[in-house]
Structure 1
Amino acid sequence: MTDAFLLALGGVMTPYTLALMAVATLAGIVSAAIPGFTITMAIVLTLPLTFAMPPMQGVAVMLSVYVGGLSGGLFSAALLGIPGTPSAVATTFDAFPMARKGQPGKALSLGLLASFVGSLISIVVLIMAAPPLALMAVKLGPWEYFALIVFALTIIASLVGDSLLRGLIAGLIGIGLATVGPDPIMGRERFTFGYELLAAGIPFLVVLIGMYAMSQLLSELEPARGGKPQPGSLISGDMRPHLLDTVKQVILKPVNVVRSSLIGVFIGAVPGAGSSISNLLAYDQAKRASKHPETFGNGEPEGVVASESGNSSTVGGSLIPLIALGIPGSPADAVLMAAIMVHGISVGPRLILDNPDLVYGMFISMAVASVFMLFIGLILMRAFLRLLNVPKYIVVPVVLACCAIGTYTLNNRISDLYLLACVGVAGYVLRKLDYPLAPLVLGVVLGPIAETNLRRAFQTSDEWTLFFTRPISAILLTLAAVSIVYSIISYLRRRKAFSSRTNASLE
């Protein structure tokens, strides 16, 4: 094993390979910062370029795009309020308010350092715990998957904002949107009402871009109120990264970043879950564990740290079933597996026995790519912040054009642009009516996964008690019930405290 590690180290640490990895990391960051251009799309575009490379070099390049992409969504999330990728949805909750309050440099540096630490923690867990975690993940059936998604859906209760009813309505709207189009099992059309526009369903990225990007940009175009002139640029304030304060916030408060990273690793190890769930779940658990949960959503540093460390650590987790069992944990991992198989290497339980140098090369590549991500991100940060000094009347049309291009390239359908416009207007109206958008997006993400696994469970067995007799499923459903009760009690306490403060101020 020592010889294999040294061979892998020598293969990755060559100047040419390191240069390729740096370029790939940069490409991943930039592509993820463009709304609608997903990490999977970036990796797919990279795949043909790796065919002429040695296996270890090709895998290193693709992993660099992967690592860079998971942190790239931070830039548009913090500076525009638009999650560049689905894995950056929760990042917008606190990073954007922090930037709007005049601390864009701190918001970005917090996210980048949290992503770096989360990646390193996931690498350590990947090296130490790949076989047992992979064996546990592969034993999960549709009952456990459904229970996991039900537990994840309880996050809606902590994202409702000031109104529990409006938050729940938004979540139901999201689940409803996810049911439009072909059903996930039989492929039959439903809820299209005869409109050809809805025949293919409403893609998740269209909802994400429309709800966050279009509604936010439409808000930026509103005329000034109360005689107060609107700022000429989207974000202004302190552009410095404040690295010392950032290190103190992340390193000297390790509980949050370690907990969030472990959540990301676990969710990543569950095939099909993905970073969009770990991002939200890590944020939710940080909010529940905080002594001041009312500050979340208003520029709370712990929220930025939790969401970014949660999504970046998913890379290591998703590689666990890939390396140990040959099961890709996400679409990006499936492309990575295809790249390995193109070179004639069999992916499965014998991968680490037959090609230990390649596996060690993956570990080393992830660590090196994480370092590149941190430094390239800090360098790019200044460039992105300078771009925000460009007047709104230039930035808004350019971002709208990027959103339209990203939406069209998703499926190459003009109809998706019409859906984007409709969803954007709907998101703008909901925002004006004080409906939180996060529960709606969460419903769109998790609704189809819950439905698919529920139907698979009943196709396998008509016995509904299996949801409660299978140990892991029962534990997850119990946690979901506890989560709902805790969220409602916390919400009622906040409302009571707010009413008490209001009455005291009136007196």
Structure 2
Amino acid sequence: MTDLLANLGLGFSIALSLQNLALCFLGCLVGTLIGVLPGVGPIATIAMLLPITFGLDPVGALIMLAGIYYGAQYGGSTTAILVNIPGEATSVITTLDGHQMARQGRAGIALGTAAIASFFAGTVATLLIAALGAPLTKLALVFGPAEYFALMVMGLVFAVVLARGSILKAVAMILVGILFASVGTDLETGQERMTFGLAFLADGVDFSVLAMGLFGIAEILRNLDHTETRDVVRQQIGRLLPGRADIKQATPSVLRGTVIGSTLGILPGNGAVLGPFASYAIEKRIAKDPSRFGNGAIEGVAGPESANNAGAQTSFIPLLTLGIPPNAVMALMVGAMTIHGIVPGPGVMTKNPNLFWGMIASMWLGNLMLLIINLPLVGLWVRLLKVPYRLMFPAILMFCSIGIYSINSVPTDVMFIAFFGIVGYALIKLGFEPAPLLLGFVLGRLMEEYLRRALTLSRGDPIVFLERPVAAGLLLLTAVVLAAALLPSLRKSRDEVFTEA
């Protein structure tokens, strides 16, 4: 306990520096703006802002990027409640009851409940990260190459199981990502792989190019393909603070949502997205009158919003302690850490304690900032919602092109983001989710490295993965989860969680 308090003290001394406070506030503000304005999510925004972080120190850069991520979770609820459009994928479920509350003249209560539930869940999740960080890091330090390889295989399988839509399509995306990761010069042999004789592919596919194309450009194309419709609430927003009866009704849902979101957010895969859906399904199932849900039930806002923010925070646990990105946003954070010369994994806590504890402290400060940003400034966000968001797209396109060119000053990078943008748009239209592709790309390179190390140490004997108990246990768990996901009954219940309404 004393060590934990000392480490948190170190974290707050880092996070409370003027520069880091400003970067945290900027990240939270940009994240809220991105969440409020539907059309560009946190994945696309972080991908586009990666070039800007080059001039910052690693701690400040990651604090800002993290603020964008959990800020978007807050902002997404504003749009979901007032306009019936989820500003972020995890806010889809908030539209069901949040917008109905707004139409009944209770928009302020819905917004206040969402903000307070998010703040409480974020605070609990931040304390959980601080408490679990040291034990998990000590555990990870005893991992060898075989254990890390097995852990990454498990992460990819969880990403498949927890992805929305077809399991087969998710597997295909993972494999394409791993394939992209193997493009370039083999570091062991010096041989070029899948470069087709093109010199600019000798160093492999650039992470920033792939991310910006798949999520930034593709998202613009996808939004231009849709007719812009808005069901903006005309009633007065009213008071923002919920009354005693509302708090009594919402509190159990907030507590359950926090537990569900915190647990699912830790899972390798896309558990943070699953959290709000699972929370809503459980709240509806245990309610005395399930028919209230979809007609303005406050529990339908409180539970999912707390699960949403708790999952966003705890998804940092596998990233900071094990070096495993559990979702596409965390994969971008791995890219940002790599750009700044930081190797994600258990070494972060021991070699970069300022980064580890500074980020944890900044999360709590960020949650406090978001409470201040969201509630008093709700009038500003309402006015912003009236701006046609198609007007943003030319500026975003120009920003993407300038940003990606500034990294290496290579014209082919600009052409590549256009190529990957078209690929990403085609994948979305065909019902493929691009997020598993990015996870496959990030983990594919790491998996190859750990596979080679494990086989080198065992003199080429693959039995090493079964001889080591932890590696064998992880692979067995992976096989069980994959087999269970393929069972028709469990596949049906998995789909029902995402479609629960």
Instruction: Quickly name the TM-score band, shorter chain normalised.
Output: 0.5 to 0.7
CA contact (8 A) 1:36 1:410 kept: no
Percent identical residues: 27
Quick one: distance in 2 between partners of 1:335 and 1:437? Answer: 22
Instruction: Give the alignment of 1:29-178 within 5 angstroms.
Output: 29-30=28-29, 35=44, 37=46, 45-47=55-57, 65=64, 67-72=66-71, 74=73, 92-95=88-91, 116-117=119-120, 119-125=122-128, 127-158=130-161, 161-178=164-181
Q: Decide which moves more: 26-35 or 188-197.
A: 26-35
Instruction: Give the alignment of 1:241-320 within 5 angstroms.
Output: 252-261=253-262, 280-283=270-273, 306=307, 308-314=309-315
Residue ranges of structure 2 left out of the alignment (5+ in a row)? 35-41, 81-86, 286-299, 324-332, 343-347, 497-501
Letter in 2 for 1:483: V
Letter in 2 for 1:181: G
1:456 to 453, 471, 476: 453
The equivalent residue for 2:212 is 209
> Structure 1 436/309 Cα, relative in aligned 2: closer, same or farther at 3 Å?
same
How far apart are residue 123 of structure 1 and its match?
4.2
The equivalent residue for 1:182 is 185
Q: Does 1:28 pair with 2:38?
A: no
Quick one: distance in 2 between partners of 1:113 and 1:393? Answer: 31
Letter in 1 for 2:476: T
CA contact (8 A) 2:11 2:361 kept: no
The TM-score, its normalising length taken from structure 1, stands at 0.65
2:400 to 400, 403, 415: 403
1:486 to 470, 484, 487: 484
For residue 57 of structure 2, give the secondary structure of its aligned residue in structure 1: helix
Quick one: distance in 1 between partners of 2:136 and 2:89? Answer: 31
CA contact (8 A) 2:74 2:309 kept: no
Quick one: distance in 2 between partners of 1:7 and 1:96? Answer: 37
Instruction: Give the alignment of 1:385-464 within 5 angstroms.
Output: 386-461=383-458, 462-464=460-462
How far apart are residue 145 of structure 1 and its match?
1.3
How far apart are residue 422 of structure 1 and its match?
0.7
Quick one: distance in 1 between partners of 2:138 and 2:11? Answer: 30
How far apart are residue 419 of structure 1 and its match?
0.8
CA contact (8 A) 2:74 2:370 kept: no
Q: Does 1:218 pair with 2:214?
A: no
Deviations 1:234-270 (A, max 9, x none): x956896987589977862434533543565x68xxx
CA contact (8 A) 1:25 1:369 kept: yes
How far apart are residue 217 of structure 1 and its match?
1.9
CA contact (8 A) 2:73 2:308 kept: no
CA contact (8 A) 2:221 2:425 kept: yes
RMSD, matched Cα:
5.4
Letter in 1 for 2:463: T
How far apart are residue 395 of structure 1 and its match?
2.0
> Structure 1 255/97 Cα, relative in aligned 2: closer, same or farther at 3 Å?
closer
Letter in 2 for 1:261: S
Quick one: distance in 2 between partners of 1:73 and 1:40? Answer: 17
Deviations 1:12-45 (A, max 9, x none): 699x957655422122235665735468766654
Q: Does 1:370 pair with 2:380?
A: no
Quick one: distance in 2 between partners of 1:157 and 1:471? Answer: 24
> Structure 1 366/133 Cα, relative in aligned 2: closer, same or farther at 3 Å?
same
Instruction: Give the alignment of 1:225-244 within 5 angstroms.
Output: 230-231=227-228
The equivalent residue for 2:469 is 471
